[in-house]
Chains A and B, each alone.
Chain A
């Protein structure tokens, strides 16, 4: 099942009755922003060269641009974020960067209290974001930690509601499993 916002695309895959994966794709690197950044750095370097008449400035500018692009693609630019929910096991979050690197976090199901859509103030506006509420080991009713999901792809509320509904169906299965035990 696929849903397209204006920038992000949500993909839901069901592997079995108790296992689902949700992937949100981010906007790819745009050519105009890349060329704008490169041109501004090179124009600044050329202006410095005109001031100082030192040609090392130009070569350092090229070096900085290349290194900066590699660092950006490897550490900053997230291509796709996915959430894998397995009812009896846990929740796994994966972020894959533009250079191919993947970052994975796993939270086991006994620590998960609920998956909710929370509203919070971010800069000067209120945003909706999906988050996992972690249980406090000392007090089962209180929330010890909040783990926000899809921080870089930032899907809109319609995507979040779809993911929320699917997650709740799976989380209900773990309640019935624990009650039958």
Chain B
């Protein structure tokens, strides 16, 4: 019964703690690489580091990407909006292939996509009691 409950499993706490420790270690390593002078690192025997230029360049790249991503997301949204003359504003594949359920007395009618002509008649002509 414990496996079927939606609450977090104990493994999730373990993964979380491992991730926390790894993140802290990574951050300390980044600080050591950025601030400690090269001569001290070389005297310890650790010689294979990337250039210190990247300690400043990578965060700058990251921040510029985040700023551009807002604009890019806005642009992608605008580009994927269907134009006014496309049939995607009216229907789509799921609505075309939907199955008609039989109408039962005294039951709530099944959920379905109503064609736009019917919707218009209901709204603007005040027609029909459906």
Give the interface SS of chain B, mostly helix, strand, loop or mixed. helix
Give the bracket for the number of chain A residues in contact with chain B: 20 to 34
Q: Is the C-beta of B99 less than 8 angstroms from some C-beta in chain A? A: no
With both chains docked as a complex, state the minimum distance between the C-beta of A152 and any C-beta of chain B, in angstroms: 12
Q: Is the C-beta of A146 less than 8 angstroms from some C-beta in chain B? A: yes
* Residues of A132-155 whose CB lies within 8 A of B: 133, 142-148, 151
What per-residue 1/0 map shows which CB atoms of A94-136 lie under 8 Å from chain B?
A: 0000000000000000000110111111110000010101000
Count CB-based A-B contacts (< 8 Å): 52
Q: Is the C-beta of A168 less than 8 angstroms from some C-beta in chain B? A: yes
- Give the distance in Å from the alpha carbon of A123 to the alpha carbon of B89 in the complex: 14
Known contacts A120-B82, A148-B85, A161-B124, A142 near B96 by CB under 8 Å: yes
How many residues on B have C-beta within 8 angstroms of the other chain's C-beta atoms? 18
Give the interface SS of chain A, mostly helix, strand, loop or mixed. strand
28 A-B pairs, CB-CB below 8 angstroms?
A116-B120, A117-B120, A117-B124, A118-B90, A118-B116, A120-B82, A120-B89, A121-B81, A121-B82, A122-B84, A123-B78, A131-B85, A133-B90, A133-B116, A142-B91, A143-B87, A143-B90, A143-B91, A144-B87, A145-B87, A146-B87, A146-B89, A147-B85, A148-B85, A164-B120, A164-B124, A165-B124, A168-B121
